[in-house]
Amino acid sequence: MCSYLTMTAPMSGSGKGADGWFRLTHAMAYFDHPYHSPAEHTLNLDFLNEGEGPSARVAVELTADSARALVRCIEEALAAAGDAAGGAVT
Protein backbone atom coordinates (compact mmCIF):
# COMPACT_ATOMS: atom_id res chain seq x y z
CA MET A 1 0.00 0.00 0.00
CA CYS A 2 1.34 3.44 -0.91
CA SER A 3 1.73 5.86 1.98
CA TYR A 4 2.00 9.02 -0.15
CA LEU A 5 4.19 10.38 2.64
CA THR A 6 7.74 11.47 1.92
CA MET A 7 10.14 11.74 4.84
CA THR A 8 13.13 14.05 4.38
CA ALA A 9 16.33 14.25 6.42
CA PRO A 10 19.39 16.48 6.08
CA MET A 11 22.52 14.57 5.05
CA SER A 12 26.22 15.17 5.33
CA GLY A 13 28.18 12.85 3.10
CA SER A 14 28.79 11.94 -0.52
CA GLY A 15 27.03 9.98 -3.22
CA LYS A 16 28.22 8.65 -6.56
CA GLY A 17 26.02 9.22 -9.57
CA ALA A 18 26.43 8.96 -13.33
CA ASP A 19 28.71 12.02 -13.38
CA GLY A 20 30.87 10.94 -10.42
CA TRP A 21 30.91 11.90 -6.75
CA PHE A 22 28.82 14.75 -5.34
CA ARG A 23 28.06 16.20 -1.91
CA LEU A 24 24.78 15.05 -0.35
CA THR A 25 22.46 17.63 1.17
CA HIS A 26 19.48 15.45 2.04
CA ALA A 27 17.72 12.14 1.64
CA MET A 28 14.09 11.26 1.08
CA ALA A 29 12.27 8.02 1.92
CA TYR A 30 8.80 6.99 0.78
CA PHE A 31 6.84 3.77 0.29
CA ASP A 32 5.29 3.64 -3.16
CA HIS A 33 5.27 1.92 -6.52
CA PRO A 34 8.83 1.50 -7.80
CA TYR A 35 10.09 2.75 -11.15
CA HIS A 36 12.36 -0.21 -11.84
CA SER A 37 12.05 -2.96 -9.21
CA PRO A 38 9.75 -5.88 -10.07
CA ALA A 39 8.12 -5.63 -6.59
CA GLU A 40 4.62 -4.15 -6.37
CA HIS A 41 5.66 -1.64 -3.69
CA THR A 42 9.08 -0.63 -2.39
CA LEU A 43 10.70 1.67 0.09
CA ASN A 44 12.25 4.24 -2.22
CA LEU A 45 15.32 6.14 -1.06
CA ASP A 46 16.71 9.18 -2.82
CA PHE A 47 20.05 10.66 -1.78
CA LEU A 48 20.60 14.00 -3.47
CA ASN A 49 21.89 17.51 -3.79
CA GLU A 50 19.12 19.51 -5.50
CA GLY A 51 21.48 22.44 -6.01
CA GLU A 52 23.56 20.36 -8.43
CA GLY A 53 20.66 19.23 -10.61
CA PRO A 54 19.23 15.82 -11.54
CA SER A 55 22.62 14.15 -12.04
CA ALA A 56 23.37 14.60 -8.31
CA ARG A 57 20.93 11.88 -7.22
CA VAL A 58 21.23 8.27 -6.18
CA ALA A 59 17.98 6.29 -6.06
CA VAL A 60 17.37 2.94 -4.36
CA GLU A 61 14.23 0.78 -4.36
CA LEU A 62 14.05 -1.89 -1.63
CA THR A 63 11.44 -4.41 -0.63
CA ALA A 64 10.14 -3.90 2.92
CA ASP A 65 12.14 -6.90 4.17
CA SER A 66 15.31 -5.60 2.53
CA ALA A 67 14.76 -2.11 3.98
CA ARG A 68 14.35 -3.55 7.48
CA ALA A 69 17.50 -5.66 7.03
CA LEU A 70 19.39 -2.53 5.92
CA VAL A 71 18.23 -0.62 9.02
CA ARG A 72 19.48 -3.47 11.25
CA CYS A 73 22.77 -3.59 9.34
CA ILE A 74 23.29 0.18 9.72
CA GLU A 75 22.48 0.07 13.45
CA GLU A 76 24.90 -2.85 13.96
CA ALA A 77 27.70 -1.12 12.04
CA LEU A 78 27.29 2.09 14.06
CA ALA A 79 27.13 0.19 17.34
CA ALA A 80 30.29 -1.74 16.43
CA ALA A 81 32.08 1.53 15.61
CA GLY A 82 31.15 2.92 19.05
CA ASP A 83 33.14 6.06 19.87
CA ALA A 84 34.48 6.35 16.33
CA ALA A 85 30.87 6.89 15.15
CA GLY A 86 30.16 9.50 17.80
CA GLY A 87 29.13 7.10 20.55
CA ALA A 88 27.16 3.89 20.73
CA VAL A 89 23.81 3.81 18.97
CA THR A 90 20.88 3.62 21.37
Report how far residue 68's alpha carbon sits from residue 53's, in angstroms, rounded to the nearest whole number. 30
pTM metric for this prediction: 0.82
Strands 20-32 and 42-48: antiparallel
Residue 43 lies in a domain: yes
Q: Which domain covers residue 38, as residue numbers?
A: 7-84
On the CB side of 25, CA atoms within 13 Å amount to 8
Residue 2 lies in a domain: no
Does the pLDDT of residue 4 top 50, yes or no? yes
- Local confidence band at 82 (pLDDT 50, 70, 90 cut-offs): confident
Q: What is the pLDDT of residue 35?
A: 87
Residue 89 lies in a domain: no
The number of domains in the chain is 1
Phi, psi for 46 (deg, rounded to 5): -120, 125
